[in-house]
Structure formats: structure tokens, C-alpha cells
Structure 1
Amino acid sequence: MRNAGSRQVRRQERPFGFVEWFRPGEHQRTEAVLPDILASGASYLRTHLSWAEYLAPGGEEWFDWLIPRVGKEIDLLPCIHYTPPSLSRTGKSSGPPVDLKSYADFVDHILTRYGRYFRYIELWNEPNNLLDWDWRHDSDFLLFCEMVGGAAYWAKQRGYKPVLGGPCPFDPYWLNLMGARGVLGVVDAVGFHGFPGTWDSEEATWGGWDMHLGEMRGIIGRYNPDAEIWITEAGYSTWRSDEIEQARRFIKALNVPADRMYWYSWCDVPPDVPVQEGLWFDPRHYHLGAVTHDNKPKLLARLLMEGGVNRLQDVAALAAPHIASDAAPVVVTGGSGFVGSNLADSLLNDGEDVIILDNLERPGVDQNLSWLIERHGARVHPVLADVRDLMGIEAAFKDAKAVYHFAAQTAVTTSIADPLGDFETNARGTLNVLEAVRKAGRQAPVIFASTNKVYGALDDLGMVELDDRFIPEDEFLRAQGIAEDRPLDFCTPYGCSKGVADQYVLDYAKSYGIPAAVLRMSCIYGPRQFGTEDQGWVAHFLIRALGGDAISVYGSGKQVRDILHVDDAVAAYRLLHANMGRLSGLAFNLGGGPHNAVSVLSVLREIEHLAGRPVETSFGPWRAGDQFYFVANTRKLQGETGWMAGIGWKKGLRHLAEWLIANRFGGQQRRSEKRKASA
């Protein structure tokens, strides 16, 4: 969490808030969510204080904990709504209370009990929504006006600032009625809800923020010119995985002429929780959060926590420039990633226009995109979209003359934790790319980045265990590596999803005549790689060692991989494309081969040499599907294209270390190494 001083500076720049409903008993979730909301730079939090829940068993104890816990940390706006069924004229929480004054009495009780934790208090939520206020029993809103107007008057008498809940969708006639009935005259702010782009019901009525807020200002100005306009709910659902659009909509809402903006919401709704009666299966209700239901940051939350609104604006401003009508760009999906950005740089160096299609999901990859733009300017065309969103990506392929498909979920561990998400990105996402290419009708060649994991764990191979590595018993495999005639044996959800994608690419060459081929990659490493414990282990180990941190190894460290420098990988992709006319429908292995076959322990020893000191290392259990030995037999690729791995692994490792020192560690280690060398 950032310190209070930096949070205050950020608030002074452009304040915003989040909406988050907490259900009784969610102490643990509240404790987990609140620090992240604060870390996002939010100044305000809007949550509900349900009258019905307060009077239910355990309700008073729950709010006795929640309101002080939250109100001490952030500017809190409690929304008081929902009639206790026992007090309701309809027997439901959406019904008017039998005694309208009882609502004001409850508000008075809340002000007495919790008033030191907030200044503003919101009176009801979405009063034109049957699920919140049953206007069928109050068709002219006389009951509502008497109930809320009386509570607002009393709150003002006690020195608080009442906020009138906003209708959704916006209804200027209702708002004018609130003015004519005197409610607007006794409130300090009026709420507005807007979710442009999310709800089909808004398409015919949404006129834009400026128009609707202008209508509000005109009406409020007639009855209470001093009242503020607050956006008490603005949001955008990522149900189609378009997280970058959510980030753009956030910035748009933040810049409209309103006095406050609350974004709905911080967390997605868990899939097992009914949102509203009759709306259980509408996916849009479940993906409105800045983080997922299990607290994984989406792009919006991640960027806010990395650098606040300014960071968010910098990334969201990366929009695709206009491509000339006679241009035929190359599309690189996942083009802000490690291999994708290196390949894009190579293409751009040769004068190509390149569309970088990326959702920027992985931390750090926007730096690669900025690097490409700095180097190549207007020939870089960012399209910030997700391959899971077919409608969102189709336009990017309309004029493509070639497609390199790298966009993927890349970690075995993530696939095991979330197999559905892994499938949607790797399998469905690849199918979306193929369909976008097919629909464009230009027969653009497609080259897919597959993986050696399609061959499974290779458990049937006999192994000899040496002091620092495993080697195959079979001398031919030891000398040549695993060839493409090895039977496919999908293992782990990641292996399955990539394997499905691998086969779809090859089949589209057969079934639809789209020139397409597959490269089944081993471990690629090199500059512009932001390695993690789950993926990109060579870079991850170097980053840890250069930073003076310990390294954790899964398994014994004797597992062997044929690591390949990214420059060699880029050369392979480009040679395959150059020969696509006769290689369509084929799959090739891509790796460093036997000359670059190294154990994890060997890499660790070389890293210690480069770091100039021992590295603390621990060993844990083997991971699912981990191969004892994988070295690619690349003779098929060599024979068809003339490609060969040209960079030895030690030279390549030093190259990566130098890049990391210069770009991640500010050159300090480089200066230290020079001092040691001269000593």
C-alpha cells in the first residue's frame, strides 16, 4: 500500500471513488478488499447500509463492525435502503414502509450511532427500479417523496448532507417530480447512474454524459441551484473480456462535469451469488468489477495501483492510428509480450506496418508497446483488445497480409487454477483469430506459437540421472532431441488448450485453405522478457539473482531444456512465413537443440557467475506435467527453411543479463561488475 502522503497527492489530482456492497459476515473479504481500494488512489467508497439487514439477526453487530472499519480509512457514503419485510406494505424489502416516518427514524438512529464516520448519507438506491422500490404500489411517488423528503430534512437539521439516490436508467421526468414535490430542495447532492455500452436497454435512450448531466443541471437549477451532481454509479462490464474498454470508460466517466464519480464496482460478483431475481444468468452483472471475484486485478485496477489515474490515462491513450487504405499491415497478437514485441520490432525495422493486438493483461508489457512506438512511430498501430472478444478484434484483421499469433495464457500453474479461463484464451481465443482471418477473406498466412507441452510429460522415456541433469537412455534422442513424429499427448489444462489451438490452426489450412503453420516452442529467453515464477523461468532467475533475492526451483533442478535466444526465435518465425507457400499445414519444433540443452542447475551456476555471488536456492515439489527432459529436434525446420540456432546459451544469457541491468536495475550491477573486473 502507498503511504498516506502519496495517496493525498493523487487525490488532489482527480478524486474518484468505488462502489462495493459488503454482505453480512464478510469480515475477511472486507479486510482483503479495503487496502486494495486505498492502493488504487480512491478517495471515496460508497456502500450500502441495508435497513432490512440491520434489523435481521446479527445485522446490528455486522454494521457495528463494518461502518467504523471502513469509515476510519476512507470518505464513506452509506446508502440506506431496503425496507425490513416485517415493516413493509408488500412484505418485501422493495415495498414502502407501513409507517413512512419509520425510515426517517432509522436514519436518525444511524446518524446517532455511526455519524462520526461520514458526512454525506444517501437516501435510497434506484427508486425507479422495481427491485429496489416497488413503484407499482406508489405509482405517483407520493409515498417515496414523503419518506425520503422527511428523512433528508431531518438529516440536514442534524448537520449532515443528504444525497438523493439516482434513478437507473435516467428519468428527467422523475427528477423534475422530485423537485416539484420539494425533495430536491432538502438534499445536497443528487445521484446519477450510467453504464453506457453495457446494457442493451440503454442503447436507445443513452444520449451521452454531457447531455444527461446537462438535463440534470437544468432541472436541479430550478429547485436547488446549490445541489451537486454525483455519479453514484458508473461502470462497464468486462463480460466479453474487453478490459481496456473498461479502463477507457472509467477515464471518460472521471472527466465528465460531475462533482463526484463512484465506479461500480471494485469486485466482480462471485458466480454462485444471485445478483437480482430473474437476472442470474446475465453475465454482464457478474463482471462489473475492477478486480475479479477472487481479487485478481483487471487492467483497470492494476494500472490504478501501479500509478493512479495518470498511469491509467497513459496506457488507455494508446489508440490505433489510422492506417492508410492502401496499407496491408502485419498483425501480431500478443505483440506487446516478450516474443511478440521482438518479432514486431524486426518487422518494423523492415518497413512493415504492424498492428499490435494486445490486452496488456500482463504487468510490464505496456512498456514493450511504448518502446515499439518510440522506435517506430506511426507504423505501430496498437489495437488494445482481447482475443476472447471476437467482435472486438475482427476489424484488426480486415486488411492483414500476415498474422503471427502469440496472445495466450502462458502458465501451467494458472491453467490448473483456472482451466476455464485458460481454455477461453488459448483455445477459444485462437479460434476467434482464425475466424477473424477467414471472415476478412484475404487468406492471410497465420503462424501460431505453440508449445512443447503438446507432447505431454514424456513419462515413457527412460531417463538416466546424472549429478546435475537427466538424459534419455535412448542415444538417438540424446543426440537429436524430440522430433515432430512424437505422438501428441496433451497434459495439464495448459497443454490441452494449446494443443487444441495447435490442431485448429493446422485444420484451418486443410478445411479452409488458409495458409497456416505451427511452431512448437521450447524455452525462449532474451530482452524484453518480464519473467515470473510461472513462466519465463530463465529471465525470472536472472531478475531474482541480480536483485539479490533467493530463487525457488520446482523439482530437483536436473530437468533439461534447450533454451533458445529470442533473436533466433524471431528468425525462425520470419523464415517460416517466407516459405509458407509450401509449408502450410505443417508443425515444426523450435528450440535451441542439443547444443543448447542445459539443466536448470547448469543455468543457475552460470547465473551465479554473471551475478558475481552465490544465489540462495530452495527446491520444492515437481509441478504437474513437468518434463524431466525436453530438447527439440529442429532438423525438419532446418531442412525446410535453412534456419539454425546461432546464439549459444551462455552468450545469450549474458546478453539478457546486460539488458536487465541496463533496463531494470539502472545499470548499477554493470558498474559493479566493471569494478570487480578491474580489481
Structure 2
Amino acid sequence: MTAQSTLAGIQPRRFGFVEWFRPGEFSRTEEILPDILSSGASFLRTHLSWAEYLAPGGQDWFDWLIPKLGRSIDLLPCLHYTPPSLSRTGRSSGAPIDLKSYADFVDHVLDRYGQHFTHVELWNEPNNLLDWDWREDGDFMLFCQMVGGAAYWARKRGFKPVLGGPCPFDPYWLNLMGERGVLNVVDAVGFHGFPGTWDSEEGAWGGWDMHLGEMRKILGRFNPAAEIWITETGYSTWRNDEMEQARRFIKALSVPADRMYWYSWRDVPADVPVQEGLWFDPRHYHLGAVTDDNQPKLLARLLMEGGVARLDEVSRLASPNLATGAAPIVITGGSGFIGSNLADSFLKDGKDVVILDNLSRPGVDQNLAWLTARHGRRVHPLLADIRDLRSIEAGFTDAEAVFHFAAQTAVTTSIERPLDDFETNARGTINVLEAVRKAGRQAPVIFASTNKVYGALDDLKMLERDRCYAPAVDAIRLRGIGEDRPLDFCTPYGCSKGVADQYMLDYLKSFSIPTAVLRMSCIYGPRQFGTEDQGWVAHFLIRALSGAPISIYGDGRQVRDILFVDDAVAAYRAVLDNIDRVSGQAFNLGGGPGNAVSLLDVLQAIETLTGQRLETSFGDWRAGDQLYFVADTRKLETNVGWRARMGWKDGLRALGNWLVDNRFEGQALMGERRKVSA
């Protein structure tokens, strides 16, 4: 496919990644390569450093790396970095003393590895302002002789040379390459562009169409057959705007170029220097589609779920329509389980709703698609991350009220990555409050907190019964845990949510913003994507309906008061309706003593509903796990007139039927598709 054909409306859908592998990174390469392939990538661009090749162990490293990569994917090696001992400037970006030695190195590489690639990129950073000595080669004559001679020889040997591209793009430099004859001996020309990431590029960036049009015009004069390759483009998520990274990827994939290489697959670890002489800039370290510890960002997750088609599907949801003049309800985490159910209830009443979500939880985009299909243009998706204040502020400008559900929700994840947990739950909550304060409308903010702010409740004496734990104190056993229970933050998750809980209450005192906090027990119901770490009732049912084993942490006798989501939605709405009276207060929200059940009780009920014996196993207790938590909800009931209406067995049946209809439709469940029993 040529650039001209894409201009006619045929968009290229194949793509590649750029990934630099440092000498000795055998295990990192083994980890990354399968993931790149699973993303649907067709191409991989990596560097083959002349300086590293001649360093001790360098040849052995590339003898392993290049065949490893080239056997799995269409490989583009970028040959650059002069050995300092051979450089005119003593630096790796300088021209070699003997210009022909670069062509000799290229010739050697083609002999040794040529069976593993068809194209070879020739480059040596002529626009690197920190390293390139303009006095040594002010008119690029040395560069042209070095690269032009190597390209001529590579072409003569049957390979296709690619001329690397400067960043920012310089049409005068490219035209000079044409006048000097370099463009005549290459098959493709690279383009580097990182719109939206580098401040230094903002003043020069004119858009993909303009810059690639300039390239095509120059190539038309000197080599009309040459292709245009985007050899580097990307977007840094240093502000946690992963949706914007996904959008930029889709945009780069649709521009009139013959290939697109995204920089990069994995973030650079913070302890690895990106470029000698550069001060620390966080943008350099967050350009990957996955984090440095291999956690997929939205871009990688969507590509691995279904390639470009899946990315297209989700990107189409990102179409906010905020300029309607309406005063919307804003729901952060609005694509999530409780958020989407609450949004649906307001939308059915004719309200406009802003859905602020970063889609980080797999599957929640289905909830957003469901809301959009049901309610059309009254749904306003704002796909952004609450950690990025700049990207979310516009969503709160005209807000009538705000419900804040967006959070990191798993204790286990908080222990593995406490900094990320804090940034989302604590810093993200302050961002939401500050966005509301800046809007100046004093919109009420109602926050989804957690019973984990009361700690592990280790001081409560428990009675060990056959299938459950029960408090020894009669009053607690009869009524549950009240709001007068002292706060006792436990685990990073409990700490971050507790901090957010207290900031929420303080913003009424300090800034007169009406706020209320609901400290939730276990909520369950339709539209929940339960996992082992969070949403355990739905997780148990999903595993049971899949015929999969269920893991229990602890002995299964721990007790929770589970609450059906319709009742939770009613509670949140009741708090908003009474915000003038309840502002500045925290309330417990759960099923109460009437819906207090042990994990063993729920498993037994699921066996009855499905008619199947469950396969279960028991493991160690998890950090901060409470033997017993049942919410005393009398304060909420008294203040807003709310009470739980759905009994837990009826709620479990309703969730099971929804799962069968929506998650397992058309599939065989344990030998046959069945409704859970009435």
C-alpha cells in the first residue's frame, strides 16, 4: 500500500512498535516479544548500535537478539551510534573519521544478519542538538556521504534502505537530502513526530496532513517511488491520560503513511538513563503501551483484547458533548458497576449525565456502550483519568451534582503498588474536589468510601460458629458496626480511601462544598465484572456458571452484609435529595443484619441455584481481611428515609439470571445452558 492509496481513503491498519533492547536484556526481550505479537503488531523497529556492537560482548548480544526478533516479526534494524573511538567528535552521534567505515559496518551487518530483515534504517542523529557538532558538519556533507554511500551499497546488495527522520520535522533538511542525492538511493524515508507530548514540538507542529504532505511533495521531486514511514510517534502518559494515548495511536494509524511504528511497547524504568546529558523529564519514561513493570495501559489492553478493531470500538465511545446548556450529573467511574447503574437511573429520569472514566477495568466499556445505546446524546463520555486534573476540569464546569466512584478498588493491588493506589484514591479525590471548587457552582459531591476505613476490627471478640463468625457483643451482633466506630486505616487501600474520606468531609468545612460520604459494604448486582480481588459475589457466580473452580482466602466463615445494587443506587440518590440536611456527614451503607451472610452461605446458595456442586479450595487469609463486617445503617435510614429492600437470596438469583442472559448467552454452561432456578 502506498501513501497515495491511503489519501484516496484506504487506511493502513497494520502497525509496529519501536523497542530498544539494551545489551544483556535477555529476559526482558523474552517477556516483551510475545506481548508485542499478541497486540497484533506486524512490525518491530529496534536499534543495532555500532558502538555497542564493538563493545565487549556486543557481537554476542546482537548474534542472539537479531535472529530472535527477526524470526518472529518483520524487523527493521536502525543502524546508528558511531563508536566514540572512531568518531570525529568523540561522541556516538558524530560522523566517523573514515566515512566509508559506516558503510563497511552496514555491509558486515547485512552479511551476518541479512536473512532476518529486508529493510535497514540508516541514521546517526543529525538533529541531536546536545551531541551533534554543527561546526564539524554544518552543511551535512559528512552525513550525506556517510549515509548515502551506505544506502547505495545496501541497495546494490538487494536490501531496502530507510532514511531516518529528524524530530521535529525539517522540510529544508529533507530537501537538502534530495539535492545531495540521498533520497535517490533509499526506498523509504522516516518521519518522527510526537504531537501533544513535547513542548519543544508544539511551536513547529502543523498536523500530520501538513507535514506528510510536505514530505510527499519533496519526494515527488527526487524519488516519487519512495515510501513514507512514521518510524517514531507516540504519546507519553506521564499525566496518566491513557485514553489520549489510545486516541493518538488511532490517529497515527490513519494518516497517509505506508507504515507506522509506535514508540514504544514498554515504559523505561526510572533508574535507566534515557539520554546522556538530558535532565530528568518524566515524559521520557511513560511512552510505553505498558508500564515498566508490565501492567497494560488502556492502549495495550485493547490491542490485546481485539486489535485495532477493539481500539476503534472503544475510541468511538470517547465523544463528549458537553456544550448542551444542561446542568449534568457527573459520575466519576461512571462506566463501572455502581456508577453505570446510578447513571442509568438518572438518565431514565431525563437527566444529562457526564460519564468520567478511564476504562481501566476490563469490560467496563461495555457498560458505557450500554448506556449510550439506551440514552443516546444525554450520555456525555469524558474518558480521562482523575489523576490528571487538567484533563477532567471541563467535565465539572456545569455540574449539578457529582458522585465520585472512580478508584483503585482492590486491597491486593494496593499492597503490590501502593504509590499507584495513593495517586488514584487520595490524589484523584482531591483533583475531583478541586475541579468542583474551581467550577464555582458549589455542586454537591457524594463519595463512595469503604468499610475498610474501620480497619481489620481485630479488637472485636468473635464467636466461631459452624458456618460463620459472630461478634460476642450482643449489640453489634444485632445491629452491626456503627459510624461511631473509631477510624483505623489498614492496608494501603484502607489508608488511601480513608484519606479521601476525610478530605471529602473537610471540603465542606474549608470551602463550603456540600459533601457526604457513604462507607460501603459489599455491593453486588447486574453490570458487575467481579474478580477475585473485588466484587466477590459476582466473581463466585461467574466462576460457577463457567464451571471453573473457586478460591477462598481464609476459611469461608467471614461474614459480610451484601447489598443489591438497586438499593445502593437508591441510597446515593436519597443522600443527594437530602444533601442540605446531611452534608458533612459519613454514613454506613450495606445490607445490614438482615443480609449478613458468610462466604460459605453464598457458595451453598449458588450450588442450589445452579444445581451444580462447586469446586472450591482454601488459601491463606489476605491482609486486612475482616472476620466480620455488617453495617449498622440506622443513621442513613433515619436521615434520608432509606432502607434495603432486596433480600440477599433474591438478589443473588437476579444477578445469576442477568449473567446468564448477558455474559453467557449462547454458551454451554456445565453441559447445557440453564437459567438459575426460581
TM-score, length basis structure 2: 0.96
1:426 to 1:278, Cα distance in 2 relative to 1, 3 A:
farther
CA contact (8 A) 2:468 2:557 kept: yes
Determine whether 1:357 maps to 2:356. Answer: yes
What's the CA shift string for 1:324-375, capped at 9, x where partnerless? 5431100000000000000000111111100000001110000000000111
Shift in Å, 1:675: 9.1
Determine whether 1:208 maps to 2:195. Answer: no
What's the CA shift string for 1:285-343, capped at 9, x where partnerless? 11111111111111111111111111111111123343454311000000000000000
Paired position in structure 2 for 1:8: none
Which structure 1 segments of 5+ residues have no match?
1-10
Count, aligned residues? 668
Paired position in structure 1 for 2:3: none
Paired position in structure 2 for 1:42: 41
1:133 to 1:80, Cα distance in 2 relative to 1, 3 A:
farther
Determine whether 1:329 maps to 2:346. Answer: no
Q: Which range moved further: 315-324 or 97-106?
A: 315-324
1-structure distance, mates of 2:671, 2:228: 56
Shift in Å, 1:394: 0.3
2-structure distance, mates of 1:289, 1:76: 19
1-structure distance, mates of 2:676, 2:381: 43
Amino acid in structure 2 at the alignment position of 1:281? F
2-structure distance, mates of 1:676, 1:295: 39
CA contact (8 A) 1:553 1:617 kept: yes
Paired position in structure 2 for 1:167: 166
What's the CA shift string for 1:528-562, capped at 9, x where partnerless? 00011111111111111110111111111111111
Shift in Å, 1:89: 2.0
Map 1:456-475 onto structure 2 (within 5 A).
Answer: 456-475=455-474
Map 1:64-463 onto structure 2 (within 5 A).
Answer: 64-124=63-123, 126-130=125-129, 133-323=132-322, 325-463=324-462
Amino acid in structure 2 at the alignment position of 1:352? K
Q: Which range moved further: 333-342 or 321-330?
A: 321-330
Paired position in structure 1 for 2:53: 54
Shift in Å, 1:127: 2.3
2-structure distance, mates of 1:164, 1:471: 73
Shift in Å, 1:117: 0.6
SS in 1 for 2:343: helix
1-structure distance, mates of 2:32, 2:323: 46
1-structure distance, mates of 2:124, 2:234: 16
Paired position in structure 2 for 1:3: none
SS in 2 for 1:356: strand
2-structure distance, mates of 1:130, 1:398: 42
CA contact (8 A) 1:90 1:96 kept: yes
2-structure distance, mates of 1:507, 1:362: 29
Paired position in structure 1 for 2:638: 639
1:134 to 1:262, Cα distance in 2 relative to 1, 3 A:
farther
Amino acid in structure 1 at the alignment position of 2:353? V
CA contact (8 A) 1:19 1:233 kept: yes
2-structure distance, mates of 1:327, 1:649: 38
SS in 2 for 1:137: coil
Paired position in structure 2 for 1:595: 594
What's the CA shift string for 1:83-116, capped at 9, x where partnerless? 1122122222122211111111110010011101
1:675 to 1:379, Cα distance in 2 relative to 1, 3 A:
closer
Shift in Å, 1:517: 0.2
2-structure distance, mates of 1:83, 1:675: 69
Percent sequence identity is 77
1:300 to 1:613, Cα distance in 2 relative to 1, 3 A:
same
2-structure distance, mates of 1:128, 1:524: 57
SS in 2 for 1:205: coil
CA contact (8 A) 2:51 2:82 kept: yes
Amino acid in structure 2 at the alignment position of 1:186? V
Shift in Å, 1:278: 3.8
Map 1:6-25 onto structure 2 (within 5 A).
Answer: 14-25=13-24
1:662 to 1:280, Cα distance in 2 relative to 1, 3 A:
farther
Q: Which range moved further: 422-431 or 611-620?
A: 611-620
1:404 to 1:169, Cα distance in 2 relative to 1, 3 A:
same
1-structure distance, mates of 2:192, 2:305: 28
1:106 to 1:610, Cα distance in 2 relative to 1, 3 A:
same
Shift in Å, 1:219: 1.3
TM-score, length basis structure 1: 0.96
1:507 to 1:99, Cα distance in 2 relative to 1, 3 A:
same
2-structure distance, mates of 1:259, 1:654: 54
1-structure distance, mates of 2:35, 2:199: 31
CA contact (8 A) 1:189 1:228 kept: yes
1:39 to 1:674, Cα distance in 2 relative to 1, 3 A:
closer
Amino acid in structure 2 at the alignment position of 1:549? A
Paired position in structure 2 for 1:530: 529
Amino acid in structure 2 at the alignment position of 1:465? E
